[in-house]
Amino acid sequence: MSGSKRLLEEIQEERAWAVQLLLDAGALAECENHGYLTDELDSAALDDAVAAGMRSSGDSEAKVKRRLQDVLDEYGEECPGCVKNAAD
Q: Residue 68 is which amino acid?
A: L
Mean pLDDT (whole number) for 13-35: 97
Domain boundaries, the chain: 3-87
Contact 61, 50 (CB under 8 A): yes
| pLDDT bucket at 1, cuts 50 / 70 / 90 | low
What does pTM read for this prediction? Answer: 0.90
Architecture of domain 3-87: Orthogonal Bundle (1.10)
Identify which of 45, 46, 30 has the alpha carbon closest to the alpha carbon of residue 80.
Answer: 30
Task: Give tens-digit pLDDT for 30-82.
Answer: 999 999 999 999 999 999 999 999 999 999 999 999 999 999 999 999 999 99
CA 4 to chain centre: 23
Confidence of residue 2 (pLDDT cuts 50, 70, 90): confident
pLDDT of residue 21: 98
